[in-house]
A and B are shown apart, each in its own frame.
Chain A
Amino acid sequence: MADARVFYEQQLADWEEHGDEYVVQCEADEAAAQDAEPGADFGCDQMGAPQLEHFVTPTPTFVGDEQAWPAPGMTTVAQLAPLLTLFAVLVGVSFLTAEISTGALGLWLTFEPRRQRVYWSKALAATLGVLPVVVLAYVVMAGGAYGAYALNGRLGDFSPATWGELAAIGGRVAVAAALVAATGAALGALLKHAAAALGLAVGWFVVVESVVAAWAPEAQRWLVRTNLAAWTEGGTTYWVNECTTDATGTLCESVEHAVSQAQGGLLLLGLAAVLSLLAVLVFRRRDVA
């Protein structure tokens, strides 16, 4: 705040000394530009003395305009909550690989040789097992954020309906965590080693999806992280640089594309289903050490 005030006072002094010159110069430049491009508007009539609030970072509220910067607390919670699914993939992978590496899976199969049943019971246990922890972590995260904003009197337009919105986000995060855990269990069953399964999952997110996003931005629609965000945040957007070339040259502009919540949910469900079915097929045939 002190820095902001110093900058403000410097700018104000400068404006008081040279403000009129700036306006004149602006209008001259605008007139020159209108020779080449009629209608050019440099906004000189908007120029005025600096205001202190322009130098101070606005303090966000818990509920507010989602497009504002900094984002309101609830939007931040919705954006951070998908990180809880990292825990889910860890649990899902571990549930299967730990049993394989210790030989407990072989022991189980001597009691229940129907492998599909054994696989689905393990995958279900992983799926349900993550829910209490993920829900608890979300409650701590959302509750903590609410408490912090409330203590500072920055709840914004908070209403009883906001609780419902927070609960809906939490519910979607829980569903996503369950699907991710099932996907992790399938990866664990397919690759048998925790390091390999987790390496693949992390490698996919960190390397493959980043490379795809950089080299083929239009493919972001089908990336897991895009769809995970779409599901948990109630829809998301991604940007693609689209260029057009005509006689005057090439013009590029960033175009925003929307991904619906339904698509996000369906993609996560489809990924979990396909990998789980593949894991079952492999698990049915594979020799158990």
Chain B
Amino acid sequence: MHSTTEVPAIETRALRKTYRSRRGRAVGVEGLDLVVPVGGVHGFLGPNGSGKTTTIRMLLGLVRADSGSARVFGHEVPRHLPDVVGRVGAIVESPKFFPAFSARKNLDLLAVAIGAPGGRVGEVLEEVGLAARARDRYRGYSLGMKQRLAIAATLLKDPDLLIFDEPTNGLDPAGIREIRDTMRGLADRGRTVLVSSHILAEVEQVADTVSIIARGRLIASGRVDDLIGAGGRSVRVGVPDQERAAAVLAAAGHGVRRDGRHLLVDGVAEPARITRALAAHDLWVDELVPVQAGLESVFLELTAKDAAAGSRHDRRQRPEEVTA
């Protein structure tokens, strides 16, 4: 655990960014308050178009915020980004390397360009697990290896903070696992990793903390375990007459969802109450299985709530377009 007085790796306050579009101003990020603690993997989650990439680009000085502030290791960015950029490595685009050159040659060139020490190339290749394939041509690499080489490039300046924007896009399961293991290893060696993704299962397995944004706003943030716990426990109920059972449970104050041949009852403290409520109406349960909520269900629940709130808001006032 980190001290609460420690300067966060990333901190934004009321960050806002809009873009010109054919239909007026499009909102990319709206009043975002984001805190990424030092150390560990921080998942930055949100549906496509929710503002993740825009936020990352603002942190890296590629895009200018309309208002609000952003700090990286306590340094205001983009104003003081040059003071802290040496501590930040980022992948915001797909990897850009010379296809005919080997991984080592590509990194050697980059190391010279950014003034990294020569021996650093071998170290970073080792760190991402590419040392054995370092002399192979880049064009022969799998997508996962290419992405790991991109991570190696970001490590050349030995950064404390690594920012990866959707690093597993286009990767097969093996590639996704490679990247996940690489990110976990980097965090275990003391670095802070911020990874944006819309693939929840992937982040759940590797992240220590997460921030969830939707429509450019932060809607939840905290430790993964806490968020999942806050989502409550559901119970999967098997019962022959689903319609009557759903009505009975809803009348008893439970949240009920259909899940194929089962009902999912949310926020159940004592599953026995379900049995009693149904038995009172001659409905007999043939299956009763507690289900722990995953990050995905928490995410879907939160983003659905936000979408519903957004549409109510939209009905009340003229909508501001959200970027895709």
Contact = CB atoms under 8 A, between A and B. Distances in A.
A110 B96 contact: no
A121 B92 CA distance: 22
Interface string A247-289: 0000000000000000000000000000000000000010110
Which range contains the number of B residues in contact with the other chain?
A: 20 to 34
Contacts of B90: 110
Nearest to A286: B64
B85 A113 contact: yes
B60 A110 contact: yes
Contacts of A106: 62, 92-93
B160 to A, nearest CB: 15
Interface residues of A, number: 14
A242 interface: no
B61 interface: yes
B135 to A, nearest CB: 23
Contacts of A288: 57, 62-63
B62 A287 contact: yes
A107 B157 contact: no
Nearest to A114: B82
Contact of B63 (A103, A113, A287): A287
> Which secondary structure dominates where chain A touches chain B?
helix
B61 A109 contact: yes
A59 interface: no
Interface string A81-107: 000000000000000000000111011
Contacts of A107: 92-93, 96
B96 A113 contact: no
B94 A113 contact: no
Contacts of A110: 60, 62, 85, 88-90, 92, 154
A218 to B, nearest CB: 42
A119 to B, nearest CB: 14
A103 B82 contact: no
Contacts of B85: 110-113
Contacts of A113: 60-61, 78, 81-82, 85
Contacts of B60: 109-110, 113
Contacts of B93: 103, 106-107
Contact of A104 (B62, B88, B96, B114): B96
- Determine which residue in A111, A285, A288 has the highest number of CB atoms from chain B within 10 A of its CB, and name it: A111
Interface in A200-217: none
A53 B85 CA distance: 77
A113 B64 CA distance: 12
A114 B82 CA distance: 7
Interface string B254-279: 00000000000000000000000000
Interface in A112-146: 112-114
Interface string B236-262: 000000000000000000000000000
Contacts of B78: 113
Contacts of B113: 111
Nearest to A102: B96
Contacts of A104: 96
Contact of A285 (B64, B88, B89, B114): B64
Contacts of A102: 96
A110 B62 CA distance: 8
Contact of A103 (B89, B94, B154): B94
A152 B124 CA distance: 64
A101 to B, nearest CB: 11
A104 B92 CA distance: 10
B8 to A, nearest CB: 20
Contacts of A111: 85, 113-114, 157
- Determine which residue in A102, A103, A113, A285 has the highest number of CB atoms from chain B within 10 A of its CB, and name it: A113
A104 B62 CA distance: 12
A111 B88 CA distance: 8
B164 to A, nearest CB: 12
- Determine which residue in B64, B82, B90, B93 has the highest number of CB atoms from chain A within 10 A of its CB, and name it: B93
Contacts of A112: 85, 114
Interface in A213-228: none
Nearest to B54: A287
Nearest to A121: B113
A109 B114 CA distance: 11
A282 to B, nearest CB: 13
Interface string B62-92: 1110000000000000100110010011101
Nearest to A99: B96
A110 B154 CA distance: 9
B155 to A, nearest CB: 12
Nearest to A288: B62
A79 to B, nearest CB: 40
A28 B96 CA distance: 86
A253 to B, nearest CB: 56
A110 B92 CA distance: 9
Nearest to B116: A111
5 contacts: A103-B96, A107-B92, A109-B62, A110-B89, A113-B81
Given A111-B113, A114-B82, 5 more contacts: A109-B62, A110-B62, A110-B89, A110-B154, A111-B85
Identify the 10 closest CB pairs spanning chains A and B, nearest first.
A103-B93, A288-B62, A113-B81, A287-B63, A113-B61, A110-B90, A104-B96, A111-B114, A113-B85, A110-B60
Interface of B: 57, 60-64, 78, 81-82, 85, 88-90, 92-94, 96, 113-114, 154, 157
Interface of A: 102-104, 106-107, 109-114, 285, 287-288
